Amino acid sequence: MSKLPIRWRLHAPLALLVVVLSHMLAVWALPRVIMDRVISLGDREALTQNSETGVYLPPPTDHTQRRIVMPSPDLLYATCAYDVGERPLRVTLDINYPRYWSIALYASTSDNFFVVNDRDAAGAAVEFILQGPNAQASARGTSENLGTVIRSPTDRGFLLMRVLVNDDPAVRASAETARRQLRCQSL
């Protein structure tokens, strides 16, 4: 078996280091950078639009909007950026909407860690307390004075509500009313 030339023996470790660093950047750092940008934008928009509810209600999606990857014109969105490092967040949604809707929670690492939708709620109001990873309450369960408690894996994150619509003006009006019921309020 022939030996590699000296220059390959010197360059192979450098190439391996570049591959490992590129992988770390793509897998670990990039999702965090993207979510930090999304969370920061969400904070600003909720404060400028409606600081009372903590919710940002973007306009209906069309071909000009690309803040999120492949937004759907069949969905209305509502978002809440959160920081539960010091205080928990109460999320409530009293919704009476006969079509599909969902609430998904994302950690600052872009991991989806909780989802509730119309089938899970079965017509009942949604209410839960979102706590940070270092909070003293149970990781997921019920507390006598708080209700259902969800533990976020990171202090900062993002809530995304989706409401299915169609071209019928009555359905759109009903969906708009439904998404306006979402509340994200610090305790």
Instruction: Output the average pLDDT for the chain.
Output: 81
Q: Provide the CATH number for the domain formed by 48-186 in this structure.
A: 2.60.40.1610
Could you tell me the pLDDT band of residue 139, with boundaries at 50, 70 and 90?
very low
pLDDT at 96: 87
Tell me the range of 4-18, 44-58, 74-88, 138-152 where mean pLDDT is highest: 74-88
Looking at residue 103, what DSSP letter applies? Answer: E
Are 130 and 155 contacting, i.e. CB atoms less than 8 angstroms apart? no
Residue type (1 letter), 32: R
4-8, 48-52, 91-95, range with the lowest pLDDT: 48-52
| Neighbour count for residue 111 (Cβ, 10 Å) | 13
Question: What's the pLDDT at 54?
Answer: 82
The count of residues in the chain is 187
What Å distances lie between residue 146 and 76, 95, 138, 143, 187, CA to CA? 29, 20, 11, 5, 10
Cα–Cα distances (Å) from 116 to 57, 99, 125, in that order, read: 19, 14, 11
The candidate with the shortest Cα–Cα distance to 133, out of 108, 110, 115, is: 108
d(CA 19, CA 24): 9
Q: Where are the domains of the chain?
A: 48-186
Structure tokens at 103: 């609430």
Write the CA distances from 85 to 119, 134, 144, integer angstroms.
31, 8, 22
pLDDT tens, position by position, 115-128: 999 999 988 999 99
Residue 138's pLDDT is: 44
If one compares 141 and 147, the residue with the highest pLDDT of the two is 147
